[in-house]
Amino acid sequence: MSRQLVTIFGGSGFVGRHVVRRLAADGWLCRVAVRNPDSATFLKVDGDPGQVVPFAADVTDMKSVERAVVGAKRVVNLVGILYQKGRRTFQRVHVDGAANVAKAARAAGVERLVQMSAIGADPNSPAAYGRTKAAGEAAAKAAFDEVSIVRPSVVFGPEDDFFNRFAAMARISPVLPEFPAKFQPVYVADVASAIARILDDPDTRGKTYELGGPRVITFHEFLELVLRVTGRHRPIVAIPMSLAALQATFLELLPVPPLTRDQLKLLGRDNVVSPGALTLSDLGISPTTMEAVLPTYLHRYRPQTKQRKRLA
C-alpha cells in the first residue's frame, strides 16, 4: 500500500498508542494530534523516520483540528476523559470535540472517520459520562454521515487505568471494594486491530461496533482474578453505594481522583456487549483472554520475594 496519511486525535493515550503502532505497522503515515506534542515523541520509534509525527491539536479548538486533518485520508478520534477538571468538561471534550473533528474531517474531504465511544453511551444514562458519550456519537453522525463508531467495554493492557488501579490498591488496602456491575474486558491490541480493519474496510461505513472480550465477569470475579494474578489475599467487601458516594465526594477533589460520583453511577450498571450488536467477530478478530495477558504486566504488583544471597 502506498503510504497515505491518517490523523489520530488522542494518539498518545492508552488506546491511542496501540492504534498508532498498529497503523504504522500497516504502512500509514501517522499524524498524532495531541495537546502536547512532546508527550507523543516516544511514538516516533514505532515507525520509519518521519512516519509518526506528533502534532499540536486540541479537539476543543476548531482551528487546530482543521490544521490537523489537512491532507488526511483517514481520521480517528480517540479523545475522552474519565473526570471533569476546569475547562476539560464532558460536554466540551466528548460532544463539542467530537463535532469539531467530524466537521473538520468532512470539510477536508476525509474518506473515513472512526469515533471512539464506549459501551454505556446512552442519552438516558445516570452518568454524565455516558450521556455525553452518546451525545458525541450523535454530533459526529450529524456532521459526517458515514462515521464508524466503536464502543469498547473496559479495556485492559499494560498501561490501563482499571486493572492496574485495583492491583495497586491490593498492595496497600486491607480490603477491596466490590460493586454490582458486570464487565466484558477487551484487550487493547484487539481494539487497535478493530479500528485498523474498520479504516480499511468500506463495508464498515456508518456502522457501530461494540467491542468486548470472550467472557463477561462480575466485579467480584474481576477482583478475584486480580488477586490471583498478583498473588495477594484480601477480603472482598460489598460497599453500600451511599457510603461509596460519600467517599467519592471527597476523592473527586484530588488532582487525579481515583473515584468520582459520576464514575460510581457507571459502576452501578453492566458494561457488556448488547445482544445483536456488531462485535470483534464481525471484523474477523478473535478476542484475547484476560488470562493470557494480565500476568505479563500485573506481575509487578506481586509481593516481593527475598533476594537470594549472593555467592561469595
Summarize pLDDT for 24-58 with one digit per residue, the tens. 999 999 999 999 999 999 999 999 999 999 999 99
* CB distance 283 to 194 below 8 Å: yes
pLDDT digit string, tens, across residues 272-305: 999 999 999 999 999 999 999 999 999 999 997 5
* Cell representation of residue 235: 477480603
Cα–Cα distances in angstroms (integers) from residue 237 to residues 173, 180, 223, in the given order: 12, 11, 10
Handedness of CA 192, 196, 201, 207 (dihedral sign): positive
Q: In what order do the strands lie in the sheet with 29-34?
A: 52-56, 29-34, 5-9, 74-77, 112-116, 148-152, 208-211
pLDDT at position 308 is 38
Question: Is 193:161 a contact under the CB 8 Å cutoff?
Answer: no
Please list the residues that pair with 32 across neighbouring strands. 8, 54
What is the pLDDT, as a whole number, of residue 34?
A: 98
Average pLDDT, consecutive stretches of 10 residues, N- to C-terminus, the chain (312 residues): 87 97 97 96 95 98 98 98 94 98 98 97 96 98 97 97 94 91 97 98 97 96 96 93 88 88 91 96 98 96 61 38
User: CA 218 to CA 172: how far, in whole Å?
Assistant: 23
Say whether domain 5-155+186-213+272-285 belongs to CATH 3.40.50.1860: no
Quick one: pLDDT at residue 310? Answer: 42
SS3 64: helix
**Cell numbers at residue 60, please?**
476543543
The three cell numbers locating residue 86: 476546569
SS3 state at 308: coil
DSSP 274: P
At 2 the pLDDT is 63
Outline where the chain has alpha helix (H).
Answer: 14-25, 62-69, 90, 97-107, 128-143, 163-172, 188-200, 219-230, 241-251, 261-266, 290-293, 295-298
Sign of the Cα torsion 113, 115, 119, 123 reads: negative
Q: What pLDDT sits at residue 312? A: 39
119 and 280 Cβ atoms separated by less than 8 Å: no
Taking alpha carbons only, the member of 23, 266, 247 closest to residue 121 is 266
Residue 14 contacts residue 161 (beta carbons within 8 Å): yes
What pLDDT shows up at residue 311?
A: 37
